[in-house]
Each structure stands twice: as structure tokens, then as C-alpha cells.
Amino acid sequence: MRVIGLEKIRQVLPTLDPLAAMESAFTAYSSGQAVVPPVGEMVFENPPGDVHIKYGYLKSDDYYVIKVASGFYDNPGLGLPSSNGLMLLFSRKTGEGLAVLLDEGYLTDVRTAAAGAVAARYLAPDPVERIGIIGSGTQARLQVRYVSEVTGCRKVVVWGRTAGNVALYRDEMEAMGFAVEVVDSAGDVAARCNLIVTTTPSTAPLVGSVRKGTHVTAIGSDSPGKQELDTSVLAGADLVVADSISQCLERGEISGAIEAGVLGADDVVELGRIVAGDVPGRTSVEQITVADLTGVAVQDIAITRAVYEAIYSGEG
């Protein structure tokens, strides 16, 4: 079994197209071409953290993938990243272990950010006035980087719980060419932006309302009990999109809205169907749209395969 470290993964990623990989993954998933068992999960209280085990395969692939990814939210205070993990790649024909990708959670971060950009490509208004970011961690950075591939907007409005982290975020993003405005609340972000991305592990709603013509991509609510959007945001949306309807019935913003009785499962469309052109995405500048991205194993399969084949293509 080959072992691929983070340095090699970082070297090869710029040669790949993560957005195209995510579009293909979502399309395959929504067309029934993927086998994805329920998410395995462990939740910790002291210190707070969670571990997700996601796995599956595409029916047309020669591989299956098992991904382990963790988030421990006190880690930054210890000088450690909050996320970690690895990907395991196996032959679907023989069960032989082919590779361990010691990505330390980086591939999960990249595929999540690329999925956010895919959602924005099909659902964000045109033009995007300002990109609103709730949170100031790794995903808050990567979401802006990848969303910038599908919109010309370079104005960012950000709010986060910790002033020092937000200041560091502002400095880093401004060094990358973005104009960053720091505001006092998540509500201020929603009031000023028509493209909003929420990236926190919050267990209580942070965004209570949005303007007409706004798209919201909710990233952080990937476990039961997490919630970043008030259920009224989904109730008032013209289009609610899930990365996986079956998964979003158990976790994410959609599950909370259904439990509250303001949304039904039949009101939700999968992102893969929009990418495939089976159903429309945004059709009006006045629409409010919400994408609930809980993270699906097909994303891990797609990015793992892409990295492995880019490194070992032609070796047999």
C-alpha cells in the first residue's frame, strides 16, 4: 500500500480541477451511480469534537474509499489545526489496499470548499455584490478562494466569534487580493451580502433572516445538533438544495427545518440534479436560495481518486 503525505498532495492539487470533480460526483450520486452507506460518527464533549467516517464507491469505478475526518474545536488554542484525518483507497475488484492519503483533513477541506463553489455557480445571484462569511477558520478562507473561481466579486464581509482570529483572517484574505470588511454580528453580514457562506460548528442559529435575491450555502451543520440558520430562513426560501436528501434528513439545516414543520422532504432538490440539468437552479434575481452541504462520501471518492491517479497515472 502506497503512502501519500500532505506535502505531495499539496503539490498535485493545483494540477487538478476540484470543481469539475465535485460536479461529476454530485451528478453520479443523484443519478443512482454511487453506493454510499450511512455516515459513521463519534461525538466528544470534553474537549468538544467529532469524527466522521464516510465511505462508498461509484459503480463505474475501480476503487472504494474510506475517509476518517475529525474536528476538535479547542485545538487552535493548543496551536493545532481543528481538523485532521486521512483517506484510504482500495481496489473494488480485489479489496487490495492501494493507498493511504495522509492529508490531515486537507482534502476534506478542499472538497468542501469546491462543493461550495459548485453551489454558488448554480445558485448565486448575478452579480454578487459582496461575499458574506460567517466564521474565520480554514473553511472560511477556502470558501472564498474557491467561490472566487465562479464570481468576479472580490468584496468580503466577515463576522466571527473571536476578534483576533477575524483580524488574522482579514489580513490573510486582503493579502490575496480581497477587500475585507469586519462587522459586529452575523446579522450584519446577512444585511450587507447577497451570497453568504456559514462555516461554523454552531449549535444555535446565527443567521435569522436574509435579503431578497440572496443565496446561502450552509457548510458547518454536518452533525445532528449543529445549526447555523434559523428555520425561518429555509421556510422563506424559494429553493432549498441538499447535497444528499437522505443525509440531510438526519443532519444539517434541512433536518431542523423539517423537524420544525416548516419544510417537507418533497420541497428539497439535490444539487446533483441541478448540475445535471434535470431541474433548474436559480431562475430569478429575486429568489432566496439555500444549499445545505453536509458532506457526502462521493466527494471524498472523487478527490481521492483524482489525487491518486494524478500521481500514479501510467504506472499500472
Residues annotated catalytic, as ranges: 67
Q: State the DSSP code for 316.
A: -
Count CB neighbours of 45 within 10 A.
6
Q: State the DSSP code for 37.
A: P
Nearest of 125, 168, 165 to residue 147 by alpha carbon: 125
* 178 neighbors 156 (Cβ within 8 angstroms): yes
Q: Distance (Å, rounded) from C-alpha 172 to C-alpha 158?
A: 13
Q: Distance (Å, rounded) from C-alpha 165 to C-alpha 63?
A: 40
Alpha carbon 225 to its chain's center: 17
**Hunting for cell 430562513 — which residue is that?**
233
DSSP string, 276-302: HTSS-----TT--EEEE----HHHHHH
3-state SS of 262-273 is: CCCHHHEEEHHH
* 24 neighbors 302 (Cβ within 8 angstroms): yes
Q: Please state at what angle helix 106-123 crosses helix 138-147, rounded to 10 degrees.
A: 40
* 296 neighbors 36 (Cβ within 8 angstroms): yes
∠ CA 89-114-280, nearest 5°, is: 115
Residue 101, phi-psi category: left (phi > 0), alpha (psi -120 to 50), beta (remainder): beta
β-partners of residue 155 are 179
